[in-house]
Amino acid sequence: MISAPDLIYAATGFTISFIITFILVPFLIRKFKEKGIVGIDVHKPEKPEIPEMGGLSILISIIVSTVFLIIVCNNLTKFFITFLIVVIVVGIVGAIDDIKPLNPKLKPTLTALASLPIIIFGTYVPRPVFPIIGKTRLTIVYPLLIVAGLAVSTNAVNMLDVFNGSMAGTCSILLLTLLISSIILGSNIGILLSAITLGSLIAFFYYNKYPAKIFSGDVGSLTVGAAIATIAVMGRLEIVTVVAMMPHIMNGFHSLASIGGLLERRQIKARPTKVLADGRLAASKDPKAPITLARLILAGGPLYENEVVKVFILLSIYSGVLAILTALLIAWGL
């Protein structure tokens, strides 16, 4: 049941995480440039060096605002502590991967194991609600789905972090969808946790949008993916999240299906897109290249990087509308 204080805490949490990220990113840009923690922006003809691991600001702001929620909402402490542990563990995995790339099979395994606090603390209800069907009972299968879901969500978000603002933009839409769906379905955990993650992501998007001043790195994308999966499970928004994540799932699923398994980005020799002389991106014609969402979009003709991201965001908005429709079908008992 949503109460007025919950909405005030959500708004305050949103503001705290927004301000922390907004202040922290310029500091990280300076520090990472000094230390040489930079990555090459491969989708631009001049190949500029951009500071990496900016997602550290997302992780820090989520930690601080979750601690705020622990202090003000005593009745939900168990859920917030679970969220905190999952996000911190996955964030550490992401940071390690940014510093020293992990084995492509080890990364999903570690992110899947990070879901264990949800099962250990019992902060889930194994009765997901579906539209038309209603409440279901998945007592035995549900914990296995949590483990798989966290691995899928973190890596799907990570795989869409390929262009300036693509991860932050699409995930901001996704979290806004979860926030609206939480209000529709009366999930106070969903409202509080979506609000703090959204605040952080919107502030990060300001610096990460085209032309990016900072990259999120795996520390950012894996943290956001873990936050989304944990919100979905603890906020009882499973099916809504699956629908809202459609662009991320499409990107990950068709990439993996076309290359035939889990491979690290650096291991894939045939690139899905190429940069033309005029700076536009075009779909690769190499049959060995993965069919990513960007390649699928570019099959219709070359586009500039910011135009591809606009299409990503458009697809996220559309999936968000379908997800809210799904939430309404559940709420109306249809």
Partner 1 sequence: MNYRHIFNILGIITLVWATMLLGLVFIWKFIVPISYPSESYTMQFLIGIFKVGASGTLALIWLYLWNKLVQIYFWKTLKAGT
Q: Tell me which residues touch partner 1 (CB under 8 A).
A: 130-133, 136, 242-243, 246-247, 250, 253-254, 257-258, 283, 285, 291, 295-297, 299-301, 303, 307, 311, 314-315, 318-319, 322, 326
Nearest residue (CB) to partner 1, 43 versus 223: 43
Nearest residue (CB) to partner 1, 108 versus 131: 131
Least CB distance to partner 1 at residue 332 (A) = 14
Nearest residue (CB) to partner 1, 98 versus 238: 238
Least CB distance to partner 1 at residue 19 (A) = 35
Least CB distance to partner 1 at residue 216 (A) = 25
Nearest 5°: the CA angle 271, 168, 327 is: 110
Residue with structure tokens 């014609």?
285
| DSSP annotation of 135 | E
Least CB distance to partner 1 at residue 133 (A) = 4
Mind giving me the DSSP string for 12-28?
A: HHHHHHHHHHHHHHHHH
Nearest residue (CB) to partner 1, 202 versus 283: 283
Return the biggest CA–CA distance within the chain.
58
Least CB distance to partner 1 at residue 100 (A) = 33
Least CB distance to partner 1 at residue 61 (A) = 31
Axis crossing angle, helix 246-259 with helix 305-331, rounded to the nearest 10: 120
Nearest residue (CB) to partner 1, 108 versus 117: 108
Nearest residue (CB) to partner 1, 77 versus 136: 136
Mind giving me the DSSP string for 73-126?
A: -GGGHHHHHHHHHHHHHHHHHHHHHHHSPPPTTHHHHHHHHTTHHHHHHT---S
Whether residue 147 contacts residue 118, with contact meaning beta carbons closer than 8 Å, is answered with no
| Number of residues assigned to the chain | 334
Whether residue 169 contacts residue 316, with contact meaning beta carbons closer than 8 Å, is answered with yes
